[in-house]
Structure 1
Amino acid sequence: MAKLSSATQRPIPVNYTKGGQTSVRGVVVHIMAGTLAGTDSWFRNSRAQASSHFGTGKTGALYQWVDTADRAWAQASGNSTWLSVENEGQGGDTLTDAQMNCIAEVLAWAHKVYDVPLQVASSPSGKGLGYHAMGGSAWGGHTSCPGSKIVAQLPQIVARAQRLVAGQSIEEDPLAGMTKQDIYNAVWKTDAIPAPSTSSTIKTNPTWEAVSVLSDIANRVRSTEATVTAQSATIKTLAQALADRGDPVDVDALMKRITDAIESVTVRLDVDEK
């Protein structure tokens, strides 16, 4: 018996050949033209005359209907030498990320159990991860199964299976292959941050690079600091003038009260903005 432990076991009572799997060249990808639940039900109907070893749902469910020691009825003359995986969806669909992960699990498992090479197959004489249409008329003539969009995803699935076999995360490292300069450019040189509403060029340049935003902020802070410094000097001059007239003014105390008032307003503004 050969069962994938991570798959939900949904054994069917009909539509397969007991002990009929003579060898395993690889895994064949199909499209259901329906739902996982509907296919699960159909495979249990003797009129279907069809089955598959595995099936995936769009949200990541993985079923195993047929033990891989037995022959599923999925790709005619390719049944006895290839495992099969049906995928929820319609012709023209792409596989969801979750479905790609499920197929990668099946392929990685087939590699460990049957020594299936982690590569894309393009004909029945090859080995690896194949697709229904590659078998032509001998495999039932299903030339649109699973569709060109899914066939284009097969290399990504193989890459995920390779990472699983290597004990790595199934998801590709988004920083893989990037240099420090690449990362710097992605963070600081990407023109995607909304420009300040006060920008004079907002209509023609609505988005800025991060470095431009920081530069603008720095300029505004310097301008504000200069303004505050000038205002403080003016207030101190006025307070001193009042003191020179003989009015009972404590210049230092007045400056502290003004400074505390400014800081209080600043704190309230910060809280309100949050």
Structure 2
Amino acid sequence: MSALFIKSPNFTQGRKGFKPIAIVIHIMEGTLDGTDSWFGSRSSNVSAHYGIGKNGELHQYVKEEDTAWHAGRVDHPSWKLIKPAEDEAGMYINPNYYTIGIEHEGSEDTDWTEEMYATSSDLIAAIAQRWDITLDRDHVVGHHEIYSLKDCPGTKVDINRLIAQAGGTPPAVPEWVVIKTGFTGKATTKNNVNIRRDPSTRMAPLASVPPGIQLAYDGYTEVGQSIDGNSKWYYTDEGNWFWSGAMK
């Protein structure tokens, strides 16, 4: 694929001995031109490897062999492949070292264009081939799965569609679960909320989210495990679940 290279000064040469194992999807909260300028400013201290415009334009800011500064903060991650630091309890190795970041024009609540889906999925497929990255929901993730205090990339993007168009395998919904799709939104935690692979407490949680955090959902089921008489669980586009009874 051909990309317009607009070099950002905000990057770390090399990857500290790591290699990319995943692709992180971002939303710009602005325009492609604005992102070009922002990533080009040393004072911003941020960058991504790529940016995609609403008309399918592709810009590159950092070489894939180098570390872009797009996902370095970690807060209550739900991404199961995040790497814990071996020498500091409760801390993580900077995800920037082993991910590739792709920004997309628009905001969290604007629909994606067909051109954006086409360019992004083609780019994801090319990156995956170059770095031998498995194309599934564990290896193509939203920024909020690393940093829960942000909703990025928002509720409008269909990451499963990106994976499918790139030739990968999106998560399969268990046959015993009835999904009511077309019901997207956000809810705020009122208690500690566990993110789980199934709408039940049978397995250990993937992550725990504290009170006051906004979580996005992509559907729900009313036949999950009943807790305090409430069997409604929200479904996320990562293929995970959280119990509605702990939400505002």
- Structure 1 and Structure 2 fold alike (TM over 0.5): yes
1:135 is matched with: 146
**2:13–2:67 CA contact under 8 A, matched in 1:** yes
TM, length-normalised to structure 1: 0.51
Superposed displacement of residue 65, structure 1: 0.8
**2:108–2:156 CA contact under 8 A, matched in 1:** no
Higher strand share: 2
2:25 is matched with: 29
Counterpart code for 2:167 = Q
Q: Which has the higher contact order (CA 8 A, sep 6+)?
A: 2
Counterpart code for 1:154 = I
2:175 is matched with: none
Superposed displacement of residue 149, structure 1: 2.0
Q: 1:41 is paired with a residue of what secondary structure?
A: helix
1:10 is matched with: 6
Looking at CA atoms only, which structure, 1 or 2, has the larger radius of gyration?
Answer: 1
Q: 1:148 is paired with a residue of what secondary structure?
A: coil
TM, length-normalised to structure 2: 0.56
Superposed displacement of residue 159, structure 1: 1.3
* % same residue: 32
1:117 is matched with: 134
Residue 164 of structure 2 is aligned to residue 162 of structure 1: no
| RMSD over aligned Cα atoms | 1.5
**In 2: Cα distance, 1:9 partner to 1:45 partner:** 15
Counterpart code for 1:41 = S
**2:121–2:165 CA contact under 8 A, matched in 1:** yes
Of 126, 148, 156, the residue aligned with 1:149 is: 156
Deviations 1:83-126 (A, max 9, x none): 000111012123211111111122111221111111122xxxxx
Q: Name segments (4+ residues, structure 1) moved above 3 Å.
A: none
Residue 102 of structure 2 is aligned to residue 106 of structure 1: no
Counterpart code for 1:118 = L
What runs of 5+ residues in structure 1 fail to find an aligned partner?
122-127, 164-274
**2:27–2:104 CA contact under 8 A, matched in 1:** yes
Counterpart code for 2:162 = I
**In 1: Cα distance, 2:35 partner to 2:147 partner:** 23
* 1:52-63 paired onto structure 2 within 5 Å: 52-63=48-59
2:105 is matched with: 88
More moved, 44-53 vs 112-121: 112-121
What runs of 5+ residues in structure 2 fail to find an aligned partner?
73-93, 169-248
Higher helix share: 1
Q: 1:107 is paired with a residue of what secondary structure?
A: helix
Q: How many residues align?
A: 146
**2:107–2:154 CA contact under 8 A, matched in 1:** no
